[in-house]
Structure 1
């Protein structure tokens, strides 16, 4: 049976979508830490990452593969169907018993949707701070497109809130009642500081040059990862956040907005997004 026959019939996203205007911007990388924290604070995802992921040994490779997968889902056209099938096959083997003694499986619809839905929430949060907020109508359209991607990934209509307003209520409920502090959260918080992180392999930086850059990079990633979190989760994780921290985040946002608007698309967008837009 072909990949397309196994998955729902869903039209891939195209240049008329809000997602095409939003997802390919490199500035969204500043929200990666927040998205990951939201995800691993879910007990199923936290357990799966702890037991099966190699991100502590290969942080840059893991990040690169995650971004490439998301860009393929949004900009890949028919290739998005193949990527959705690959993800489902990969997650079939991710299962075990969490620290509560409960059995888990990565394809549990609640957890599988939370990964997808929390990425959507983080993208909106990033737009608000570092790019430009979407209008209410754009948010509604973007969410409808995200549900389409969810169907492509193998989720069903009833696994996902019907509209953006429903999603906001759902998101707040998961943050309040489902997310937790756990070992994977603490590992991720430590890795975001970049204290022991090697330079990105694509930069070709020797350790002697990377060493003085690393603390500044870790400070920015930590500021963004913690500052963009919902306040309720930040408090539950006992993460310090002061008025001075908030002012630093807002200053960074202002600088990023101003600089990003002057950068040509060829540099501001990820190559997959840039090529897709150039082809239309």
Structure 2
């Protein structure tokens, strides 16, 4: 059964929310690979992305649209409701048959919630590793807010665990019993290495300057994407992870934490988040 498109009677998030403090930071981009791997390892999402997405041809555009959508949901006020409706409408046409021979639909509540819930998990994980550990009570409040966003997206109360403790058990169960290796996972892992990726269009970098930067960027993105994954999924995907890799990940965390404290908000935050916080 698909999600029913409707206007939810839910108040969008505001400046008193944990999400407003957490989500707008550009450093969260380091967790993009992890969130996407968690999502496409779900058979419904992996099939939908394989059949309907152009992320391999337009990785920067796809990333930009995804980030902008998330920022609209968190910081957009009434715009968050319009964005949720746009997403539901867009996903209506995403359907087909997966590699198991099963029919799928992007608005299947289980899969639609997994995209939203795995984004939450990644934000918390990255915040703990690269910014500073979030107190458990704050995680609980953040989850309650994320659940409100789920209602805006068209999910129902019974589609989502009631509290953070329930979410932790749910997340572990999905990782253990539902996620898989598939073609889309392998395509994404290759894309994260940036071997074939053109420079971001907004940087206006010529290929001659981008070429020496690309390997280092791919190494960092790959290290973060793999290192932040739950170890059981990392093992299932046969992704190598050593003690040396873990130390490198922690060093990146130290650098980003120190750098973030010295960068002014207008540079550290995405413009949509910065404008919202400025009122």
- Measure how far apart 1:137 and its partner are: 1.0
Partner of 2:24: 24
TM-score, with normalisation over the residues of structure 1? Answer: 0.98
Instruction: State the 1:151 CA deviation.
Output: 0.2
SS in 2 for 1:171: helix
Corresponding residue of 2:182: 182
Residue 15 of structure 2 aligns to a residue whose secondary structure is: coil
**Aligned residue in 2 for 1:69:** 69
Q: TM-score under structure 2 normalisation?
A: 0.98
For structure 1, the residue ranges without an aligned partner over 5 or more in a row are: none
Deviations 1:206-257 (A, max 9, x none): 0000000000000000000000000000000000000000000001100110
Matches within 5 A, 1:42-81: 42-81=42-81
Residue 268 of structure 1 corresponds to: 268
Structure 1 residue 104 corresponds to structure 2 residue 104: yes
Q: Which residue of 1 aligns with 2:212?
A: 212
How far the C-alpha of 1:132 sits from its partner, in A, is: 1.3
Q: Take 2:201 and 2:150, find their aligned partners in 1: how far apart are those partners?
A: 32
Report SS of the residue matched to 1:96.
strand
- Structure 2 unaligned runs (5+)? none
Question: Does the residue aligned with 1:30 lie in a helix, a strand or coil?
Answer: helix
* Alpha-carbon distance in 1 for matches of 2:224, 2:251: 12
RMSD of aligned residue pairs (Cα, Å): 0.7
User: Which residue is equivalent to 2:88?
Assistant: 88
Q: Distance in 2 between matches of 1:6 and 1:22?
A: 28
Q: How far 1:259 sits from its partner (Å)?
A: 0.8
Secondary structure (helix, strand or coil) at the match of 1:104 reads: strand
Instruction: Provide, for residues 132-173 of structure 1, a one-character-per-residue CA deviation record: whole Å limited to 9, x for no partner.
Output: 121111101000000000000000000000000000000000
